[in-house]
A and B are shown apart, each in its own frame.
Chain A
Amino acid sequence: MRKTSFALALLTAAVLTACGGTDPRPGDQTTKIKFSQQVTFGDSLSDVGTYAVGGIAAMGGGQYTINGDATSVNPELTGKNYTTLLAAQLGLPAPCAAQTGLLGTASTNPALNFSVPVTFQANCFNYAQGGARVTNPVGPGNRALSAANATTAIGLTTVPVVTQIANHLAKAGGKFSGTELVIVTAGGNDVLEQINELKANATTAGGTALITSLVTQLTPGTTNPATAQTAIATAARTAAAQGGDATAIITAAVTAAARAGNTAALANATTIGTTAGAAATAAAQKYAADHSAELVTALGTAGAELAALVKSQILAKGANYVIVNNLPDVSIAPAVLVESADTQKLVATMVSTFNTQLKTGLGEDAKLLYVDLATVSHDQAINPAPYGLTNTKTPACDLSTAKNPLGSSLVCNKNNLVSGDVSHYMFADGVHPTPFEYALIARYILLQMSGKGWI
């Protein structure tokens, strides 16, 4: 009898455990703060299709990642930018580009037509543009950077962040409503453009030194040094102007010297070339070293300018929820990894200087969320496994001219990827994230939003 009771008690326990629906469930999926819209300012990292027109669209591109929904190939290949993911999570409409168009060269070949009228989209609030800098209107890809007579120029509009904000304020009646989620990300193009210019100028300095060295070495043995000097220099400059490399320039100078009566020129060509080459390298390095500090200063200025813009043109104009992503560590990007150790170090310093000035300038504000993408991107490069990244050093897109005429993720999609599984690569091209990396960025921003009590 008593044993029966005990058995009954156990049975009761079993029944208690079995009642009701017990399956896993998603739970409450509503956010704490309901934002009215997402307003984004910045560069290619946040661009959702400013240039998705003309030849870019014809090539299946438009965003700086692996374009297009290729989840049928791999679930990670969503083609989505982090701003798109954030909007979806927050229950907001998918962001669209506030301005579209290209100011490049026209072509009857649809894939090469980069002349598409600039159009302002009244109901789109993502102002971010590939190539955009903080205040300088000329960023990478801008028409002003290609030769006036270039047959093909992409002509990115690269409207800087300062103007992007002004454009929004003009559209929104001079102020923010206070219920938008504002996102700001910039600085990358200030780094890239400054580095490009430094490299170009260093190359010029090296070229000048090369020719000077050749003239100095080759003139003494000629029959008429006064005229020979000019002839050698002219020959070398002509070769350089024709796009010749160092060897071509040296050959041209040596030939000119031989013609001017320097009988030893041809025999000593190798020695002379080596000496001149060393002089050129030294001059280029000296130029870079002498001007590195200027670049670091310029980035510090850009960081301070961005901070001032956020404060005076966004926070002071009524925005209550402002996310400022700092500049990711560009020095770990594939495009920079192929540069010299000195350049990599310089880029790292430029990034940290920009971020220090940005953070200092912004200060603390309850309405402001400063997201440290620099630290997390650096960590991803040195510790990729926990993030699920399989490659942080080489691009997922095949950037060869045959496969990718622009050499940019802007026209990368599932049809021009490198072979193998690239779904968990960090970079689509030299500097831009894959959709998988964008998802990691979105999660990181959402984590910080949670810490801020915004979600």
Chain B
Amino acid sequence: MKVSTKVVKLLVAAGALAVAGGAAAQSKGQFTVSVGANQLKPNVESGAISAPALPNSFGDVGKDTQPVAVITYGLTDNISVETAVGTPYKHKIYGAGAIAAGGQLGTVEALPAIALLQYRFFKPDARFRPYVGLGITYAMFQKETGSFRMTALTNPGGTPTTFKIDDKWTVSGQIGAQFNVNEKWFLNASYIKTKLRTDVHFSTNQHQHMKLDPDSFILSVGYKF
């Protein structure tokens, strides 16, 4: 909600800045690259950690923001493909429900690889071009890191507990808008919703189903090649 407000404000500001200039846009055969930030915010609906555990032992996952480069290529004047590259998102993992008192129990790095097919409205030279996209995402998890407290709550006095989160192929939907400041430079904002269900496997033979369905909020400044 807060982020959406920011997006609107930025777009308005950009509009005020843009005084003149025949702006071209994403057109057939054109490459654009925009650089900015992406906030990845999971919407966690946690399953309970399997036995042996206190009933309703849930988990929660924090959000993270990292730099991102969005690369877009125009297949036609209205259809484009897009991907994004960036640094891994470092998410903190917390106990929730019956184990909320456990606090932060671990961290994980998420590396989502995404490929989107987009439809861009209006003509390439329009100043403001909203777009929608649909794509596939490969959600990869790495460097799953436990803690003293994770061990304390799962295997006290024993081998430190580790965990692995399953990597998943999934689908993403996107809405966004590009504001062409001039012929070469533009501002880009997009919101990507990814459907993501995965499973966490602990070294104690326990597991947990997690619905993460992350929201991704991207703000970037781009250049047309």
Contact = CB atoms under 8 A, between A and B. Distances in A.
Interface residues of B, number: 52
Interface stretch (A19-27, A44-52, A299-307): A19-27
A286 B161 CA distance: 56
A244 to B, nearest CB: 48
**Looking at chain A, what size class is its interface with the partner chain?**
35 or more
B157 A29 contact: no
A387 B31 CA distance: 56
B73 interface: yes
Contacts of B22: none
B152 A455 contact: yes
Interface of B: 29, 31, 48, 51-57, 71, 73, 81, 83-88, 99, 101-103, 106-107, 109, 111, 113, 140, 142-154, 156-158, 160-164, 203, 225
Interface of B is mostly: mixed
Interface in A1-55: 2-3, 5-6, 9-10, 12-14, 16-17, 20-32
Nearest to A5: B31
A281 interface: no
Given A89-B157, A450-B101, A387 B146 contact: no
B31 A25 contact: no
Q: Which of A21, A447, A455 has the most CB of B within 10 A?
A: A447
Given A24-B146, A25-B145, A447-B99, 5 more contacts: A16-B87, A17-B140, A25-B144, A442-B156, A451-B102
A385 interface: yes
A451 B225 CA distance: 55
B51 A443 contact: no
A27 B153 contact: no
19 contacts: A17-B142, A21-B143, A22-B143, A24-B144, A25-B143, A26-B145, A86-B156, A88-B156, A89-B151, A89-B152, A376-B54, A386-B54, A387-B52, A388-B52, A436-B52, A442-B157, A443-B156, A451-B102, A451-B103
A443 B49 CA distance: 14
Given A6-B31, A88-B157, A13 B146 contact: no
Given A89-B156, A385-B51, A444-B54, A13 B31 contact: no
Given A27-B145, A442-B157, A447-B153, A12 B51 contact: no
